[in-house]
Amino acid sequence: MTETHTAQHDTLRQQAVDWHLRLTSGNADAGVWAEFERWRQQPDHARAYRDVETLWQQLPQPLLADRRRRQAIAARQRRKGLLRRGLNLAAAASLLLAVLAGFYPDYLQHPLADYRTRIGEQTAIKLADGSIAYLNTDTAVDVTIGPNERRVELLHGEAEFEVAHDARPFRVTAGAVTTEALGTRFIVRYDGETGAVTLQQGTVRTSRPAARGAQTDSAVLQPGQQLTFNAETLDAPRAVDLSNADAWRRRRLLMNFVPLKQVVAEINRYRRSQIRLLDPKLGEREVNAAIDIQHIDAWLEALQQTLPIQVIHAGPWVFLRSWAHVSRNQSVR
């Protein structure tokens, strides 16, 4: 199989996985099905979709095969044929899961959340109490509006909350951290381990359970302040530029005097095809960035026109390296 044919096969397989996820999401309407039928009529597409569908149906079988494998070992491997079949199924399922995890991590993460956005998507949700939650890229939330409180659990991602006036407290939890507000606007970001709360209007109190015997760890934020946290601590509130903090609402990313690696990490939240730094020193270089989220490639092109950086496109990936690194390699040859 030539390199070109291999790349075409991988692309077709990725398209088939994407179609299967769309069709089984519960949100596929007649228009989506019609589009799928047109795609399936093209050469090799129907077979690629059948392969993915077969693998998906067999996903539970590796778990069963693994349990049988342990039973077979205890019984001196009396059922070696089943074990081999189970291992083959496990390998096939692992291949499919690797494709899903590599290009579609947002499809696998929190699939039962009340509201979700995919990578690169943004949306606004009006809650039952009149509050509005603006979800940024790759975000999942659960919402409970009860008689005594209004609670949103931010499972992953970033959301801005515009809280409606109501006697019931409005609480947003992210991991072990809870932020409570009445009639205010604030942003919460959480990646599963670390996060941040940024206050735009009003007043909020952010708290987390303390160790046994200690007082609850908490802090009150004023407008224009941000508090970062992890699983163990709440940092002290600090002043931030609010125009940068909520720039994503305007489909912009604004960062001043930050390492290039931080800019790349932020951009990658909005892209399935990730950007990688080939030169670690390059990642430490401080830059100012004003990026249109919908035209990231244009920013990359401008980047290599203004800085000694080379942008390399390799299939779905993009690599950045310094021209100094290129010159050194050429001189060695």
Q: Which fold has domain 251-332?
A: Phage tail protein beta-alpha-beta fold (3.55.50)
pTM, rounded to two decimals? 0.67
What are the C-alpha distances in Å from 186 to residues 115, 117, 169, 253? 19, 19, 14, 18
pLDDT value of residue 326 = 46
Q: Residue 237: which residues within 8 A CB-CB, separation 6 or more?
A: 219, 220, 221, 222, 225, 226, 227
The neighbour count for residue 291, using CB atoms within 10 Å, is: 22
Which region holds residue 214: left if phi is over 0, alpha if psi is between -120 and 50, else beta? beta
The first and second tokens of residue 324, run together, are 């100094």
Please choose, from the candidates 157, 166, 154, 152, the residue with its C-alpha nearest in 3D space to the C-alpha of residue 139: 157
Q: Residue 238: which residues within 8 A CB-CB, separation 6 or more?
A: 225, 226, 227
Q: Which fold has domain 115-243?
A: Jelly Rolls (2.60.120)
pLDDT per residue, tens digit, the chain (333 aa), is 444 555 566 678 778 777 776 776 556 778 888 888 898 898 888 888 887 776 665 544 444 454 455 555 555 554 554 445 554 555 555 555 555 555 556 666 777 889 999 989 999 999 999 999 999 999 999 999 999 999 999 999 999 999 999 999 999 999 999 999 977 999 999 998 999 999 999 999 999 887 655 556 899 999 999 999 998 889 999 999 999 999 999 999 999 999 999 999 999 999 988 899 988 889 999 999 999 999 999 999 999 888 889 998 877 788 998 876 444 444 433
The neighbour count for residue 108, using CB atoms within 10 Å, is: 11
- Domain spans of the chain, in order of start: 3-108, 115-243, 251-332
What is the distance between the alpha carbons of residues 185 and 163, in angstroms, rounded to a whole number?
A: 6
Q: Under a CB-based contact definition with an 8 Å cutoff, are residues 229 and 196 in contact?
A: yes
What is the distance between the alpha carbons of residues 54 and 324, in angstroms, rounded to a whole number?
A: 49
Alpha helix ranges (H) inside 212-278: 242-245, 260-268
pLDDT value of residue 1 = 45
Domains 115-243 and 251-332 share a fold: no
Report DSSP letters for 84-153, one per residue.
Answer: HHHHHHHHHHHHHHHHHHHH-HHHHSSTT-SEE--TT--EEEE-TTS-EEEE-SS-EEEEEE-SS-EEEE
What is the distance between the alpha carbons of residues 100 and 96, in angstroms, rounded to a whole number?
A: 6
pLDDT value of residue 220 = 93
